[in-house]
């Protein structure tokens, strides 16, 4: 079993990096990537735990990319040089993220809901603070029933508390990942909100910029869409990955090790970072 898309408490998951690896072992996963949002803070801990258990660990990251109309997230897989390459650029990303979070707090307070940034920081437990932590607090304050409702009503794009994030360009994201020795992969491509007619043309242009893979088998995708994405990836020469997008208790609908339709994730033998 494999899983190339997971999150820990260092971003918006509820398992520590070590707990994530322990859970992977319990589930029989033998190859796993940790891909926290905009941070490499959990990679060393997860790597050491994986070595202890004797499973293969793929150091990774998930970067947000400037894009309309949907969301463009770029996975960097097997970023073996993360310590020397990514520290300073990610600090700059973090400053912009925190500025956005403070704007969200102001919107929430202006609406009559009492929430402090200190509460959000305590809720996060890790280095990266994002919308899931706001959602969790809205649930605890009994403003909404669950985190899904929090996004639907308040935090998703176009909703009252949403602030656009100042993200990297695709060129910047690809360059950062490749300088760290990694391979850029388009995460959950259905979130791009592109029509099927536009997909091949856009993918070709992104391939020319250095994108190498597509996360075909994402847990949030319908199987019929995964099959179509698989065909496009094969036609254009992208390698294919899959992941649960595991967040622990924050997203109980995304169990570790399982992709679309609750099925185990297929292994593409052409994935370059599995050949070392």
All domains in the chain, ordered by first residue: 2-81+170-274 (3.20.20.140), 90-155 (1.10.150)
At 85, the pLDDT band (50, 70, 90 cuts) reads: very high
Torsion of CA 64, 135, 154, 75, to 10 degrees: 10
Is a pLDDT exceeding 80 seen at residue 276?
no
Per residue in 140-170, pLDDT (tens digit) is: 999 999 988 999 999 998 899 999 888 899 9
| Span 78-99, average pLDDT | 91
Look at strands 56-65 and 72-77 and give their pairing: antiparallel
Q: What is the mean pLDDT of the chain?
A: 94
- The whole model's pTM is what? 0.89
**pLDDT band at residue 218 under the 50/70/90 scheme:** very high
pLDDT digits (tens, 9 = 90+) for 32-73: 999 999 999 999 999 999 999 999 999 999 999 999 888 999
Q: What is the C-alpha to C-alpha distance for residues 190 and 196, in angstroms, rounded to an integer? A: 10
| Sequence-separated (6 or more) residues with CB below 8 Å from residue 153 | 144, 159
């Amino acid at each position: 079993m494999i899983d190339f898309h997971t999150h820990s408490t260092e971003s918006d998951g509820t398992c520590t990096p070590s707990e994530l690896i322990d859970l992977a072992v319990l589930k029989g996963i033998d190859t796993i990537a940790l891909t926290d949002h905009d941070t490499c803070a959990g990679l060393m801990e997860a790597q050491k735990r994986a070595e202890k258990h004797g499973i293969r660990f793929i150091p990774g990251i998930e970067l947000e990319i400037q894009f309309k109309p949907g969301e463009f997230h770029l996975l960097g897989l097997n970023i073996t040089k993360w310590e020397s390459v990514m520290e300073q650029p990610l600090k700059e990303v973090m400053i912009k993220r925190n500025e956005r979070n403070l704007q969200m707090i102001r919107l929430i307070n202006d609406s009559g809901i009492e929430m402090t940034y200190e509460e959000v920081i305590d809720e996060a437990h890790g280095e990266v603070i994002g919308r899931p932590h706001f959602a969790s607090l809205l649930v605890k304050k009994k403003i909404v029933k669950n985190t899904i409702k929090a996004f639907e009503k308040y935090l998703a794009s176009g909703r009252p508390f949403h602030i656009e994030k100042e993200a990297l360009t695709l060129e910047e994201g690809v360059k950062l990942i490749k300088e760290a020795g990694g391979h850029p992969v388009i995460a959950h491509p259905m979130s791009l909100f592109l029509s099927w007619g536009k997909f091949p043309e856009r993918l070709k242009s992104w391939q020319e910029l250095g994108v190498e893979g597509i996360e075909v088998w994402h847990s949030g995708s319908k199987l019929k869409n995964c099959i179509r994405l698989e065909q496009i990836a094969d036609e254009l020469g992208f390698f294919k990955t899959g992941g649960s997008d595991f967040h622990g208790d924050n997203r109980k609908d995304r169990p570790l090790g399982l992709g679309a339709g609750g099925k185990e994730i297929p292994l593409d033998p052409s994935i370059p970072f599995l050949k070392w």
